[in-house]
Chains A and B, each alone.
Chain A
Amino acid sequence: MSLGLPQHLAMRSLSEAIAFASHVAAAVSLTIAALAPMLMQLSSPDLIIWPAAAATVPAIALLGLLVRSRSTAATLLFLIVGGAASFWYAVTLSSQLPQLGGNAAIYVLFIAALTCNAGPAKTFGVGVMWSTAGFVIGVASVFLGTAFTGVDEGVHPVSVMLFLFLLPALARAAFGGGRAESLRRHLYGALKHDRVDSIRLEAEREAAALLHDTVLGHLAALARMPDGPLDARLRTAIERDLRRLVGGEWLLEATTAELSIAIDTPFQDAVTRSRLDGLDVALTGDVHAIARLDETRGSALARAVEQCLSNVRRHSGTNRAEVAVLEGEGELTVVIVDAGTGFDPDSIADDRLGVRESILGRMERAGGAARIWSTPGHGTSVLLSLPLDDEPFAASPSATARASANRSANASNRATVTATAATVCEDPA
């Protein structure tokens, strides 16, 4: 079940539904108005009642025109010709069957048909005005028709007509206004706020990941450096931060497509940068499959891989890592394995953004997933997976839900290097 129509469309839909229902009511009324004189004619062949049935034909034809084209001209034509037909109908019946009186239910059918014209307008109020005009024309024509033949009793189908007028008003109150209107406005207002908030939260998480990988990392490096000259690589990185993060539209580019920080081939560049930082990275598998990722996913993968390699360099106690690229079943998988000291994933504090946002969160936002297996003393394996470009993009929140499920899986599997990872990569132990 969805939230239903927003208010403006609900009112338009209501107007169209009432108009269509009115036209159907008019068509059925005219059909019965035609059938009744025909039955009367069959039972009284000596009377001339069939012209009353014939009078309904032009009215039915013009109603068909009105259904096809809800224009002012079509409505006017229907009311003028329908009024004349109604007069003729009343004259025929009251002249041949004066015992019916002027208040017979049969006359109400024609008046009801003229009332249910719905008019050309899309708005409720104007529709009521056209219905009123149809009612007045219908009553007047029947009154004149019966009076023309000298039938005394006048037409007063007031109760039925009040009912006819009341129904659209009730329908509007029921489906369009009051509580429904208020609820719709609040629901759609909430939906809009939710969309803005979701995008904002995603953007903030992306910004946090980017800043973690750049500014925060460089601040930490500065805070750890001994007295002495500034390291040349750190100087270059700081200059790059200042140029790109403060001057350019880095977040917009990161959330839409290309990322200025990632250079020409983001994945290769990530590996190269890690090698330049002193890590011995063995790259295996079908590296060319990465080209099948779009720019957003390719960039997200590259930055997540770079963060994994950065963690190996800074925390694992080893300077060797293997990156294996595998493709299969519409999915690209990258496994980063080191045989370092390993760690207990449960020991990571909630305020550490490196794993949570730069790896797990980044994969999640790109529609993929990340899993981490590590045991103290037995190395670490990180598995990153993303759907390939021919697969539908799993945007949030489904990606969020999937990543959330993966997080749960991580929690339960954190201490174990699974058989899958061991098969895919060499056992880090």
Chain B
Amino acid sequence: MRASGDTLQGLDRASMFGAAPVVRVLALALIAYPAVVMAGQATLYRYPQFAIWAVGTFAISGVVLIWASSPLRLHYPRGAFVVTMTLGVAAHILESAAMVQGDPTAVKHASTVVLATLLLAQSGYCTPRQLLVATATVTAAVWVTFAAFGTLSATPPLVAPLMFSAPVLVFGTAAAAFATVAIAARREWESTAPQRAGVDSDELARGVARAVQQDHVTLLNREVTPLFQRALQLGEVNEQLRAAAAERSRLLRDVMVAESNRTWLQAAVGQCGAVSDPDRLAIGLEPEKRAAVRALIGQICRHPQLVDGSLRIALSSGANGDSDVVDCSIEFSLDQTVPLAASRLTPYYGMLRALFDRFDYGTDGPVRWLKFSYAR
């Protein structure tokens, strides 16, 4: 199993950054809940050591869940869903073995609630189909376990396994329903994005064009119009007029060259740092990737520990012999004398990892660096 465009993580990575701490809480509940329930009814178990192993198996499953749902991971790892559910079923078998030949209705089955929690915790990383298939498989496993331990026919027959598999059925189908609606909303948003962008851009373009024109008209009125009017009034050219025209020409050219050379990256960084992009490679980046880089730059520039002027961004191509690939490196320093704030940049790193190739990051003393690539 891998996170693809068919999962909530694949379609809306931003949603999953908030999910990671909640998944950790649920993973801890996977350990705490069965431990408390089983401890409370320890005397009812015929083989309590199996109950302890069941708690241990749930703990492993919780650790796998925490590991797999790290927000810095590119995809939910292949097989993590299968591993956690298999461990959950194994724990359920151990719990059933602990009470073998006992009265199944006399004790609480913590394992089925935990299995249901596992399904819910992974609803953002799986497709609705995977969740439904897992729900059906786990339910079947619960029934087979009841049959294997000879408790299927406990009075009244079939009712006990039905009741104990109820949490899995209820929360498994609810998890699939949740994923279905959440994914559908994202798909609809993506499908209508081009139309929205067109409308927004048209409206924006008019306002921005007016503002830019006004800037230029102001410049022309100040620097050029008086000169042209003087030339028209005089009706002839002289040395003074030639010199003034040459000077205004240089001034105007300098302004226009500066405007034409500026890229979105320089605009985004502003006074916060320095950009080295002699080939203007930044202009080839897609809008959504630009937005992610901009958002990160915004966070870096607002970071309370940022050392003034330490942000450096460099773009180059052809470093590995492939001129179609642009390599971007970002470097900045954080003041380590200030108490460390929570890692506010982590979600942005995760976003960039999902959007760019060869993403890497690290630290070197106070210096933080990250590198990534994209096709031109």
Binding site for B on A (CB under 8 A): 1-5, 9-10, 13-14, 16-18, 20-25, 28-29, 32, 35-36, 39-40, 43-44, 105-106, 109, 112, 163, 167, 170-171, 173-184, 186-191, 193-201, 203-205, 207-208, 211-212, 215-216, 218-220, 222-230, 235, 238-239, 241-242, 245-246, 249-252, 255-256, 350-351, 353, 356-357, 361, 397, 400-401, 404-405, 408
Contact = CB atoms under 8 A, between A and B. Distances in A.
Tell me whether chain B's interface is mostly helix, strand or loop, or mixed.
Answer: helix
Contact of A28 (B173, B190, B299): B173
Contact of A32 (B155, B162, B205): B162
A404 B376 contact: yes
B177 interface: yes
24 contacts: A1-B354, A2-B11, A2-B189, A21-B178, A21-B181, A24-B174, A25-B174, A43-B157, A171-B178, A175-B15, A183-B295, A183-B348, A184-B14, A187-B351, A195-B287, A198-B264, A200-B211, A201-B259, A211-B216, A218-B228, A219-B248, A223-B243, A224-B242, A408-B323
A201 B267 contact: yes
B290 to A, nearest CB: 5
A188 B245 CA distance: 45
Interface stretch (B22-30, B58-66, B78-86): B22-30
B290 A194 contact: yes
A1 B173 contact: no
A32 B169 contact: yes
A22 to B, nearest CB: 7
A215 B185 contact: no
A17 B260 contact: no
B181 A13 contact: yes
B319 interface: no
A13 B209 CA distance: 36
Contact of A229 (B189, B235, B259): B235
Contact of A167 (B19, B120, B201, B354): B120
B18 A17 contact: no
Contacts of A197: 264, 267-268
A401 to B, nearest CB: 5
B219 to A, nearest CB: 9
Contact of B166 (A23, A109, A229): A109
A223 B177 contact: no
Contact of B249 (A179, A204, A216): A216
B294 interface: yes
B201 A195 contact: yes
B23 to A, nearest CB: 7
Contact of B200 (A44, A195, A220, A224): A195
Given A5-B189, A238-B232, A24 B173 contact: yes
B185 A16 contact: yes
B342 to A, nearest CB: 10
B113 to A, nearest CB: 8
The listed residue with most B CB atoms (<10 A of its CB), out of A14, A39, A193, A256, is: A193
A176 B201 contact: no
Given A18-B178, A189-B295, A228 B220 contact: no
A377 B225 CA distance: 40
Contacts of B261: 350
B286 interface: yes
B260 A205 contact: yes
Interface stretch (B43-51, B250-258, B303-311, B360-368): B250-258
A174 B170 contact: no
Contact of A40 (B11, B159, B243): B159
Contacts of A39: 156-159, 162
B206 to A, nearest CB: 6
B231 interface: yes
Contacts of B208: 196, 199-200, 203
Contacts of B158: 39
A36 B162 CA distance: 7
A250 B213 contact: yes
A231 to B, nearest CB: 8
B242 A174 contact: no
B338 interface: no
